[in-house]
Amino acid sequence: MENRATNLVAHCINYRRLCLLCFLSLYLIVTAEATEYVVSPAPNDEFGVSVAGEEVTQVRDFTVYWQFLLWLAAMQILSIIDVLLHLAKLIFVVLGFKIKGQANEPGSSSQSKVYDYIKTRPGTYISDIVNKLNLNRGAVKYHIKNLKAQNKIEAYKDGGKVRYFENNFSYDNEEKIIISALQNVTSKKIVLEIRNGQCTTNIALAQEIGVSRATISWYIKNLKDIGIVQETKKGRNIIYRVNPSYENFIEKYK
């Protein structure tokens, strides 16, 4: 994108120079044709006196040279302004901003809905937005791309899923981990059961939640990998507990 902006400025400058060169060439040709004359020595040095009895008429001395200078100066000023405007656009491109009227942008109403949904439901993902807002998947991806370019939202990778948060710097990494984990129904049940202290083993969790022990093991492994659940051995049993650093976030987002 930066190369395109640079090339655009260069082409604009070359175009201005070409237009100015054409104008000068045309001006010289027209001036030469309109003012063609032959210069010969005058036999009489007295101003306004007939040489051979011909009628003498005083011609108004008029030149377009100053008009040409004025026009040339105006062209230079316009060229400088044009270059400065394109330079400003180039700076915006380099910094990652876009100059556009969002209010008149097609689909801006849908984009606002997507943005509001992400604000009210942090950690959401594209499929959820598509289903809840009844929008086309391609349109949702387009709006998310624009919102990311405007630094209004940020993406967070949760395993193989990409979740989105409002980019207001209010969510730290631990918060994003908890929010993402609790949006999965089974993960949320496991975390809350362990936190309550009623079910802290694989067998107890499987019986309480109503899933197989293999399913519990799979979810527990994921929760351990992201640091929410910790385990300790007590005899032949493995006891699970919630990482204390996540307690407040679990209470906030449960």
The pair of structure tokens assigned to 103 is 């209010």
Q: Which of 117, 143, 171 is the last residue of a domain?
A: 171
Helices and strands: H and E segment counts in the chain: 10, 4
Same domain for 76 and 138? Answer: no
Same domain for 198 and 238? Answer: yes
Residue 159, domain member (yes or no): yes
User: Closest by alpha carbon to 111, among 133, 80, 81?
Assistant: 133
Q: Which of 150, 171, 192 is the last residue of a domain?
A: 171
Same domain for 167 and 179? Answer: no
Provide the pLDDT for residue 9. Answer: 47
CATH number at residue 138: 1.10.10.10
pTM passes above 0.85: no
pLDDT band of 210, cuts 50, 70, 90: very high
Same domain for 76 and 139? Answer: no
pLDDT tens digit sequence for 36-86: 555 565 555 555 666 666 666 665 555 556 666 777 777 777 777 776 776
Same domain for 14 and 85? Answer: yes
pLDDT band of 98, cuts 50, 70, 90: very low
Beta 229-234 vs 237-242: how paired, if at all?
A: antiparallel
pLDDT band of 87, cuts 50, 70, 90: confident
Residue 59, domain member (yes or no): no
Structural domain of 162: 106-171
Residue 51, domain member (yes or no): no
Provide the pLDDT for residue 93. Answer: 56
Looking at residue 174, its amino acid is E
231: left (phi over 0), alpha (psi -120 to 50) or beta: beta
Residue 158, domain member (yes or no): yes
Provide the pLDDT for residue 77. Answer: 78
Q: Which of 138, 156, 171 is the last residue of a domain?
A: 171
Same domain for 165 and 178? Answer: no
CA separation for the pair 38, 35 (Å, rounded): 10
Residue 145, domain member (yes or no): yes
- Indicate if the pLDDT at residue 109 is higher than 60: yes
Provide the pLDDT for residue 100. Answer: 46
Same domain for 84 and 115? Answer: no
Looking at residue 234, its amino acid is K
Q: How many domains does the chain have?
A: 3
For residues 108 and 102, the answer to whether their CB atoms sit within 8 Å is yes
Same domain for 138 and 184? Answer: no
Same domain for 136 and 91? Answer: no
Same domain for 127 and 179? Answer: no
pLDDT band of 1, cuts 50, 70, 90: very low
CA separation for the pair 159, 154 (Å, rounded): 16
Same domain for 72 and 86? Answer: yes
pLDDT tens digit sequence for 54-67: 666 665 555 556 66
